[in-house]
Structure 1
């Protein structure tokens, strides 16, 4: 099994309308959804290589505090309590103290020094998970941080999670786009994401996850037809893939990455 410690491996949408979100993403990304443990409140979503995340309604207490629909990512942890303490001492913020989820594992909610939220999770199953192959349809092909404190966040993720730095690309007035690898490799093929200063159009520091689709143009049209809004793209990126950033009908921001068909 893949060592998931320090790596994003599970992605979760909290939304105002789970059934509508399942239909929207299912038609675009091709996910299948199955109730967790026979219940109806949490739907596990699967891509071509198996389960990769979940969709649930925003909890009432979070909704009452003003939470909007959003995608969150879980980072693997061998010891959630120890990691939460270590990350807090390194400049992170503990947003929700470690606690158990029956039948799932132990988790905590953290924020990096710049304020972007992520979760720690140690699963209760000893079986673990295998990481999907790069660019597996329906899985996350890229992780992008709109950073609230570029230098501090870069030091935080590389220093605390062991991520490796790749090339830094100059984006002019927007600053640097620093490629990073969660697997420790430093060549371009090893890169799994990027860190950049938060653009003024993005309201808060946040992680953005790019879901892999087989045809970016077809997927873009499905986003529009399904009631989503395309914010940027399609745009070609290094390596020959194309991306869009978008919001779903409930307002959660997400992104897609895929190739362009010969006719595109």
Structure 2
């Protein structure tokens, strides 16, 4: 993506909610070379920030709900979480959790768009979000998969002021001319039970190697490494606990 740091309205963080923190830590550390740092505070239940060098790049967390889905979530930066909640609900979305203060780090919200996709809002204070984008092992693109693209476009442009490219094949989200994500219309190839969702893509040095490493680590390749015409080489993977995510070749940022 064309963003290189958290900006208001843009993606600022990716967080995995998982049923097995230890297994997730082993899988992603092997795949991306992350260095995990687990918060020792008991109330955080093992919340783990992962780093590349000194830069925080993502987090691994226990599921908030025992029966909740194992999944990656994408957070978008906002100046005022309370004001953003009002914008989300006025535009037809829902807010099942928050705003919640997270120590002095910031203010957190769980939201759901009108097409059913869950996303997070983050009002940064001492912690703005990821300290690195687009480098191998870090977040580099976010993608909304939905069955109602027009409704989704109306919602996100209203709430965040995003631009949407006119491409019918693959509309892209942008802020002030800087594209950071895209939108896929879910057709009959997607099982009915798969809901609308946000999919984070992490940069890697070699997509084919990453897909092979994921398989060897107990994961699954959902979309084999593919070179998109006039776009990146990418693949979509699933970790051993069931969370989906994408990888793309670093340097192929759109």
Q: TM-score range by the shorter chain?
A: 0.7 to 0.9
Higher relative contact order (CA 8 A, sep 6+): 2
1:180 maps to 173
Residue-by-residue CA offset, 1:29-59 (whole Å, 9 max, x unaligned): 2211112366671110123671122101113
| C-alpha displacement of 1:115 | 1.0
1:33 maps to 36
| C-alpha separation in 2, matches of 1:123 and 1:78 | 8
2:239 maps to 248
| C-alpha displacement of 1:167 | 4.7
Aligned partner of 2:23 among 15, 20, 24: 20
Q: TM-score, normalised by structure 1?
A: 0.84
Residue-by-residue CA offset, 1:147-181 (whole Å, 9 max, x unaligned): 142101112222321222235143xxxxxx21222
Alignment of structure 1 residues 182-221 onto 2, 5 Å: 183-185=175-177, 190-200=178-188, 201=190, 203-221=194-212
Query: Contact 1:116/1:148 (CA < 8 Å) preserved in 2?
Result: no
> Helix, strand or coil: the match of 1:191?
strand
Instruction: Report the CA distance shift for 1:129/1:210 in structure 2 as closer, same or farther (over 3 A).
Output: closer
| C-alpha separation in 2, matches of 1:2 and 1:227 | 32
| C-alpha separation in 2, matches of 1:10 and 1:130 | 6
Q: TM-score, normalised by structure 2?
A: 0.87
> Helix, strand or coil: the match of 2:123?
strand
1:236 maps to 227
Query: Contact 1:49/1:132 (CA < 8 Å) preserved in 2?
Result: no
1:95 maps to 96
Instruction: Report the CA distance shift for 1:131/1:84 in structure 2 as closer, same or farther (over 3 A).
Output: same
